[in-house]
Structure 1
Amino acid sequence: MRGLRIDTFTFIIATVVQVYSSSVRREGRLSVTELRERNHCFAGNSSKMTNSYLWRIIRDPPVYFFGTIHVPYPRVWDYIPQNIKQAFCESQNAFFELDLTDSNTSRNLKRCQMLPRGENLSTVLPENMYQRLKSHLGYVQKMMPSWGVYDEELFHTIAGNWERKRPIWVMLMVNTLNEADIRSRGIPVLDLHLTNEALKMDKRVGAVEVVQEQCVPLNGLNVSQVLFLLNRTLWQQEALRDGTIESSFSTDDLIWHYNCGDLNSMILNLDTAQIPNILNSTMSETDLRLAEEIDRYFVDELINKRNQQMASRVKEIVESKSNQSFFFALGAGEL
């Protein structure tokens, strides 16, 4: 069974491509020599590490689909093949999952994360879970100076007002409160970097989703499901802190695979905005059934239904400007 992971900025490119009757061609295959020189990609099985993340719908002018990951762009930018950058520069329109430069996007995202008026995590969570959460946040705040990144404002930027947030969003926040992610705060992720570059080039910039389409499925989990996820996330963080388990996959690992052109969907699903893998041998049969139930819910809501909607929207966008070229930068997770 797949690990229970989601990416709130992930899109299955293949579904979009299937909307069109025209054929699709892979672009940007790197040579073995170039990959060796650029990023020591051959310590393991090298057979899959010769791909890039660019697809093209064969039409005139062309429509490109580029698969991104949501990490600080300097970690991957030098490894993105030149033909991808050229396709981006030459395209008249650049579309992303969300418009990350629009203040309304940020405002709506914050709004959807908040508990209903008058509610607080201290009254929503069981007392023991609330105290564990509070303790872990205190641990992170205490550790930040040793990570060389601490100031009071930074901690409150990341975790401020956490007691007013819905448990599902607190869980996602907890999963990013680690040294590597905190050190990279303030550096634009690849998607945002491309958006900024598109604006500088005076491209028409747009989005294929709105915030509500990503928020509503997450907020649709029932209370028992959310408490289960938060409890398992806290358990994982506590075990990492006391050394009883080790992190099985880091952001550095994800970046390494991406830079090497590894198209393995199980690897690309391990993106930084995802729910951690909560499945392990310590789980009871009851917990396993609940994990499977949540997994099915996410697959249906955040992959199947979402892809159908996004595919239709992409088709409409392209057909509305049939004489213009497009560059869609969307999550590579299920390419």
Structure 2
Amino acid sequence: MKVFGPVFSWVLLSGVLLQAVAPWGAARPGKARHCDAPKTQRDFNSFLWRVNRMPPHPPAYLFGTIHVPYTRVWDFIPNSSKQAFHSSKNVFFELDLTDPLTISKLTSCQLLPHGENLQTLLPPDLYCRLKRHLDYVKHMMPYWMTADQRGRGLYADYLFNAIAGNWERKRPVWVMLMVNSLTEWDVRSRGTPVLDLFLAQEAERMGKTTGAVERVEEQCHPLNGLNFSQVLFALNQTLLQHESVRAGSLQGSYTTEDLITHYNCGDLSSIIFNHDTSQLPHFINRSLPVHDRLTAQQIDSYFRHELIYKRNERMAQRVSTLLQRNPSQYTTV
């Protein structure tokens, strides 16, 4: 393919470094500050990196995103980032979320083997607590939803089924993640595409070439790799945390609102990005018995190795390959 004119390519990597959403953890150092709308372009956030190449090849770009509604961060993204996106001919994401096959594979990966269900798999007490919490969420959803959501025809029963439907057929680790996403804030934000999906939809609308630097199984298999006792521990701890929030005896340490504030402030070095780097609850707690604390540390170490270090190395290698592939035919990747 011959390229005419100054056409740029864009690599969009929502790596784990920048998509942290960990509402539970150590004591919070202080309320995240509010970011006012930037007055000049120089005041905007700085999550765009430029990769220079030898002439005549134009540069590539890396852009860090977070998985929150794009409307919450779009006004804080500088024109330089938006211009790099619009000028790019090729756009690569972590996964192609506009591809129905990707969604189908993600759904299949979360399901238990045929014939199994959570009621027979989980200890009876844990199953009852899980069902009780999901019943509570279903009851609260109409009160959590916004007038804007209702005005767009988004109803509580539909939304609950979209998020939690068929939960008894899901693997416990995915139910844990599902429970962690069923908070009032997350429910109120449903119906608006997250930043990654919005950019993917825009790229498709503009006729750009899109691709992915990860495969579904590379995201799914590490989560499914915990042993059963670790999964039970993680689900139990997650339920305990949410039950404590319901009882008013615990507040989340790091919230999605904190994450958005730090992102909009361009605060890459903030503790919120360094503390937790995956969309998982933080299990390590000094109040835990020694044996449970060891289990929590093993889970934390496993996920950091699989979902951060190995993942970053794998994505970096693939980005390097994209940058070197057919340099005379593609401006950048």
Shift of 1:52: 0.8
**Partner SS state of residue 99, structure 1:** coil
Q: Show the counterpart of 1:142.
A: 139
Q: Show the counterpart of 2:165.
A: 160
Shift of 1:10: 2.9
RMSD: 2.2
The more displaced of 200-209 and 274-283 is 274-283
Q: Does 2:174 correspond to 1:169?
A: yes
Q: Does 2:233 correspond to 1:228?
A: yes
Q: 1:263-300 CA distances to partner (integer Å, 9 max, x unpaired)?
A: 02642367897111222232111111111111111122
Aligned residues with identical type, % of pairs: 56
User: Cα distance 1:108–1:52, how it changes in 2: closer, same or farther (>3 A)?
Assistant: same
- TM-score, normalised by the number of residues in structure 1: 0.81
The more displaced of 76-85 and 260-269 is 260-269
Q: 1:32-88 CA distances to partner (integer Å, 9 max, x unpaired)?
A: xxx975169xxxxxxxx9751011111131010000000000000000011111111
Q: Show the counterpart of 1:290.
A: 295
Q: Of 36, 55, 58, which aligns to 2:49?
A: 55
Specify the code of the residue in structure 2 equivalent to 1:174.
V
Q: Show the counterpart of 1:74.
A: 71
Q: Does 2:273 correspond to 1:279?
A: no
Shift of 1:248: 1.5
Q: 1:160-195 CA distances to partner (integer Å, 9 max, x unpaired)?
A: 000000000000000010111111112110001111
**Partner SS state of residue 64, structure 2:** strand
Specify the code of the residue in structure 2 equivalent to 1:38.
A
Q: Of 241, 255, 263, which aligns to 2:260?
A: 255
**Partner SS state of residue 38, structure 1:** coil
Contact 1:76 / 1:255 at 8 angstroms: preserved in 2?
yes
Q: Structure 2: where are the runs of 5+ without partners?
A: 1-13, 19-33, 147-154
For residues 60 and 205 of structure 2, what CA distance do their matches in structure 1 show?
Answer: 21
User: Cα distance 1:197–1:321, how it changes in 2: closer, same or farther (>3 A)?
Assistant: farther
User: Cα distance 1:133–1:269, how it changes in 2: closer, same or farther (>3 A)?
Assistant: farther
Size of the aligned set, in residue pairs, is 290
Contact 2:284 / 2:297 at 8 angstroms: preserved in 1?
no
Contact 1:70 / 1:272 at 8 angstroms: preserved in 2?
no
Contact 2:49 / 2:61 at 8 angstroms: preserved in 1?
yes
For residues 221 and 270 of structure 2, what CA distance do their matches in structure 1 show?
Answer: 25
Contact 2:44 / 2:265 at 8 angstroms: preserved in 1?
yes
Contact 1:62 / 1:326 at 8 angstroms: preserved in 2?
yes
Contact 2:44 / 2:77 at 8 angstroms: preserved in 1?
no
Question: Once superposed, which parts of structure 1, at least 4 consecutive aligned residues long, lie more than 4 Å away?
Answer: 269-273
Q: 1:224-263 CA distances to partner (integer Å, 9 max, x unpaired)?
A: 1111100000000000000011121211111011000000
User: Cα distance 1:270–1:326, how it changes in 2: closer, same or farther (>3 A)?
Assistant: farther
The more displaced of 200-209 and 298-307 is 298-307
For residues 39 and 235 of structure 1, what CA distance do their matches in structure 2 show?
Answer: 40
Which fold has the larger relative contact order, with Cα–Cα distance below 8 Å and residues 6 or more apart in sequence? 1
For residues 156 and 296 of structure 2, what CA distance do their matches in structure 1 show?
Answer: 37
Q: Show the counterpart of 1:45.
A: none
Contact 1:94 / 1:205 at 8 angstroms: preserved in 2?
yes
Q: Show the counterpart of 1:318.
A: 323
For residues 69 and 159 of structure 1, what CA distance do their matches in structure 2 show?
Answer: 22
Q: Show the counterpart of 1:246.
A: 251
Q: Show the counterpart of 1:105.
A: 102
For residues 326 and 207 of structure 2, what CA distance do their matches in structure 1 show?
Answer: 17
Contact 1:70 / 1:191 at 8 angstroms: preserved in 2?
yes
For residues 278 and 187 of structure 2, what CA distance do their matches in structure 1 show?
Answer: 13
Shift of 1:119: 0.5
Specify the code of the residue in structure 1 equivalent to 2:50.
R
User: Cα distance 1:167–1:292, how it changes in 2: closer, same or farther (>3 A)?
Assistant: same
Q: Of 216, 220, 239, which aligns to 1:215?
A: 220
For residues 206 and 93 of structure 1, what CA distance do their matches in structure 2 show?
Answer: 8
- TM-score, normalised by the number of residues in structure 2: 0.82
Specify the code of the residue in structure 1 equivalent to 2:304.
V
